[in-house]
Chain A
Amino acid sequence: MQEKLLEILKHTAEAEAVDWLENHLAQQKEGFAQRPFYYAFSGVSRHFDKQSTVTVNTEDEEALSKATPGFSVANWDEFRLARVILLLTLAEQGKDTFLETLNALINTADIREQVAIFSAFPLLQYPEELVPLAREGTRTNIVDVFDAIALDTPFPMRHFDDEGWNQMVLKALFISRPLYRVQGLETRANLKLAEALSNLAHERWAAGRYVSPELWRSCAPFLTEQIISDLARVAEDENPNQKAAVALIAANSDPDKKLAGLRDDVASQLDDAISGRLTWDTLGQDLEQALLAAAA
């Protein structure tokens, strides 16, 4: 994995920066020492381009997801990738050194360093030791840090317990993060989360506030009376994106036809959902684009 990541970094990074990194990795492989590691980890910002984004071709993507399903470096900047490469060397230093150094790093990390550390989690050993760090990390007020833990990564899906998972999904909705980029929404769905999401929707409705249609995706396997009545309300919304959520559940997650009475309200979206033109991913992408456009 480390070699592949270095190869990707080389697509864009200055040769001088890559040389510096490779020299450091070679030194650390001969004999690991904490202080030079700290200097290198923070010093990435002195060698790589602050604004440069890495480029990833199809072959790279395939190699990464073959090695670690769900792992991707798409849209990463050079700082993030270079630091994850360094962390993979740290991970070879034995459990005690690894965890002690990782804790020191995380306790003194700036925003971009935190992003890099959490991004590396799917690649690191001892996930049971990493879970509390990731859970603490989701309490952040800083979007980039939250995103590094929750979005486009298989770590929470594989390692969070239900409590951690549910808190993360609720917070992602609460702070308007694009839920379709959370991996494992279907496999990790649970009744407790579905009920909490329904309650969140009710609070929002009471306050006259927006409820993302992505919220209902985690409720799909749990068509309780309350959730069916919630979906009836969503089906009556004039916004086609709201109707889309009902259509997606009716098309894919309703073998007992509990939503039969709502199908007419969302007929057009239902056609799209059945034909596959509309999926939770296409809906999520549309919502994300709209949110970014509105903010800009």
Chain B
Amino acid sequence: MRFLDSHVHMVSRTTDDYQRMAAAGTVAIIEPSFWQGQPRTEVGSFKDYFNTLIGFERFRASQFGIKHYCTIGLNPKEANNERLAEGVMELLPLYICKEGVVGIGEIGFDDQTKLEEIYLRKQAALALEADLPIQIHTPHRDKKTGTIRTMDVLEDVGCDPFKVVIDHNNEETVKTVLDRGYWAAFTIYPHTKLGNERMVQIMREYGGERIIVDSAADWGISDALAVPKTAALMKEAGISMEDIQRVCYQNPLIAYGQSGQLKEHDWEEAKGVDPKELFEGNTLLRGGQDIAAAMASKVIT
């Protein structure tokens, strides 16, 4: 089975993760812009971070035969630094029309402050201007209120819910998100947020329509294989293969495919690792490793 992990912060992950993801069938990933564990103090740090997302990280993923896409945006935590936020807003037009940028994200609320709302509105308007999907981060604290407030703001700006993925849902938020016409994504973390088994229960209740499973793997304890592992658990629990394929592959493809920048033939026509990109000295595959053999020993079925 093929997987599309639509939320994973690969800049924080190792090549071991890339190998295991490729071996498990992850063919494409979307890396949202987010904060990096500690606040940035200069606008230039955002520029270099965005450059990494559209540059070196894309290249790194390609070395493992994985197609890398990203969403670009000002995250809600750092929206609270107004000087920085204004600078980032000036940068965004340079990035949002680039190849492989599949949306504005991840944006939304963290502490649910006034500044957070201002930059959510501005970026939602930018997404409308560029006709791009939006990837929404919902707050960890007071999640239900924050999620509803996010949808209110988006609708006020004029966004189409079908072009918005609301992420980090739980049992408390999923119903209203789906009822209002949005895509509902679930982040599977090993110990916090949502474990794989809770996800199976949600699938039993809501089926596969407009639901997306992602890993949101980052610099904290998290699992870059969360999507294929959850898929395996769903299969054991008797969820239909069709629904599993929808939430782990097809739905994010449809949602972010609305950017025109994410198409199945991007990876279907690719011939694995581009041999031209493998050269001595600069390849990440040091010492002429046989990546196919390394992967084959770790396939999750």
Given A175-B279, A292-B275, A295-B275, A107–B47 Cβ distance below 8 Å?
yes
Among B55-89, those with CB < 8 Å from A are: 55-56, 58-59
Is chain A's binding surface mostly helix, strand, loop or mixed?
helix
Given A108-B50, A141-B282, A42–B59 Cβ distance below 8 Å?
no
A46 close to B (CB within 8 Å): yes
The answer to whether A175 touches B47, judged by C-beta atoms less than 8 angstroms apart, is no
B96 nearest CB across to chain A (Å) = 8
Assembly CA distance A50 to B59 (angstroms): 17
Q: Which one of A110-118, A156-164, A222-230 is at the B interface?
A: A110-118
The answer to whether B58 touches A42, judged by C-beta atoms less than 8 angstroms apart, is no
The answer to whether A45 touches B99, judged by C-beta atoms less than 8 angstroms apart, is yes
- Contact residue among B54, B93, B277 (Cβ-Cβ distance under 8 Å from A38): B93
- Contact residue among B51, B95, B260 (Cβ-Cβ distance under 8 Å from A46): B260
The answer to whether A110 touches B276, judged by C-beta atoms less than 8 angstroms apart, is no
The answer to whether B95 touches A108, judged by C-beta atoms less than 8 angstroms apart, is yes
Assembly CA distance A46 to B277 (angstroms): 25
Of B96, B98, B280, B281, most A-chain CB atoms within 10 Å: B98
A132 close to B (CB within 8 Å): no
Chain B residues within 8 Å of chain A by Cβ, number: 29
The answer to whether A42 touches B281, judged by C-beta atoms less than 8 angstroms apart, is no
Residues of A within 8 A of B98 (CB): 42, 45, 110, 113
Residues of B within 8 A of A174 (CB): 280-281
Residues of A within 8 A of B279 (CB): 143, 175-177
A67 close to B (CB within 8 Å): no
A35 nearest CB across to chain B (Å) = 6
B291 nearest CB across to chain A (Å) = 12
Assembly CA distance A141 to B99 (angstroms): 20
The answer to whether A111 touches B59, judged by C-beta atoms less than 8 angstroms apart, is yes
Residues of A within 8 A of B100 (CB): 45, 110
Assembly CA distance A116 to B55 (angstroms): 14
- A-B CB contacts (within 8 Å), total count: 77
The answer to whether B58 touches A175, judged by C-beta atoms less than 8 angstroms apart, is no
Residues of B within 8 A of A107 (CB): 47, 51
The answer to whether B58 touches A110, judged by C-beta atoms less than 8 angstroms apart, is yes
Assembly CA distance A45 to B100 (angstroms): 9
Assembly CA distance A111 to B60 (angstroms): 12
B269 close to A (CB within 8 Å): yes
Residues of A within 8 A of B281 (CB): 174-176
Assembly CA distance A108 to B54 (angstroms): 9
Contact with B along A204-218 (1 / 0, CB 8 A): 000000000000000
Among A80-123, those with CB < 8 Å from B are: 104, 107-114
Residues of B within 8 A of A141 (CB): 56, 59, 282
Other CB < 8 Å A-B pairs besides A141-B282, A142-B55, A295-B275, 16 of them? A38-B94, A39-B93, A42-B94, A45-B99, A46-B97, A46-B261, A50-B266, A79-B99, A104-B94, A108-B51, A108-B91, A110-B54, A110-B99, A143-B279, A176-B279, A176-B280
Interface, chain A (partner B; CB < 8 A): 35, 38-39, 42-43, 45-46, 50-51, 79, 104, 107-114, 141-144, 174-177, 292, 295-296
15 contacts between A and B (CB under 8 A): A35-B93, A42-B96, A45-B98, A51-B269, A108-B47, A108-B94, A111-B55, A111-B59, A142-B56, A142-B59, A143-B276, A143-B277, A175-B279, A175-B280, A176-B279
Which 6 A-B pairs rank lowest in CB-CB distance, beginning with the nearest?
A295-B275, A45-B99, A110-B54, A42-B97, A43-B97, A42-B98
